[in-house]
A and B are shown apart, each in its own frame.
Chain A
Amino acid sequence: NAGVTQTPKFQVLKTGQSMTLQCAQDMNHEYMSWYRQDPGMGLRLIHYSVGAGITDQGEVPNGYNVSRSTTEDFPLRLLSAAPSQTSVYFCASSRAGGNGGYTFGSGTRLTVV
């Protein structure tokens, strides 16, 4: 039972490069979200999805794109990396309605130089 799987675990990017953070869940959860965690700022919502084909912006969406073509996958794309995007990124999933609570992945630690 894998839960929520994030890849890669670590990544170093140069300013201006693009990349995709992968997130997959095997629990058939409808809801998926991306958060970033920064020292002193806590976790903040980047983008979320309530089902395949449906996405919406969270609190800090600028510089990031998402898509949800399947129930299982919810990749996060950095279009042109900036040092301000250095952070730890967490993907999470839950059943519709949130009755089952959220399950989080182990995170991707991204450094932009």
Chain B
Amino acid sequence: KQEVTQIPAALSVPEGENLVLNCSFTDSAIYNLQWFRQDPGKGLTSLLLIQSSQREQTSGRLNASLDKSSGRSTLYIAASQPGDSATYLCAVGEAAGNKLTFGGGTRVLVKP
């Protein structure tokens, strides 16, 4: 059974600092990996999707890397802003992507 872990569970940084969020998974036979953002009381917003054949994806200040062999993905957020404060969820897609296994999330607070 796939298990996805996100460490740390919570992170607080001053504005302008770069954020590094970690995700690890136990079974390297994944189809894809997706990073989501969730604001309190809201739904999930997709940030980046990395296919299993890819090593990284970038969108603006966000960059996500994938290392299947070591079972790890890292989400980098450059020059953090208070608006980046949210919970970030990592999810591994299996069986042609129709099932997602989620990590517990990292709650991020960016202080002005």
Contact = CB atoms under 8 A, between A and B. Distances in A.
Contacts of A105: 43
Nearest to A6: B43
Name the interface size band of chain B: 20 to 34
Contact of A43 (B46, B51, B89, B96): B89
Contacts of B45: 104
Given A106-B42, A107-B43, A97 B96 contact: yes
Dominant SS at the B interface?
strand
Interface in B49-89: 49, 51, 89
A42 B107 CA distance: 12
Contacts of B34: 101-102
Contacts of B49: 100-101
A101 B46 contact: yes
Nearest to A98: B97
Contacts of B104: 40, 42
Contacts of B97: 31, 94, 97-99
A98 B98 CA distance: 6
Nearest to A58: B99
Interface of A: 31, 33, 35, 40, 42-45, 48, 50, 58, 90, 92, 94, 96-107
Interface of B: 31-32, 34, 36, 42-46, 49, 51, 89, 91, 93, 96-105
Given A99-B32, A104-B46, A107-B42, 16 more contacts: A31-B98, A35-B102, A40-B104, A42-B89, A42-B102, A43-B102, A44-B102, A48-B98, A90-B44, A96-B98, A98-B32, A98-B97, A98-B98, A99-B97, A101-B46, A102-B93
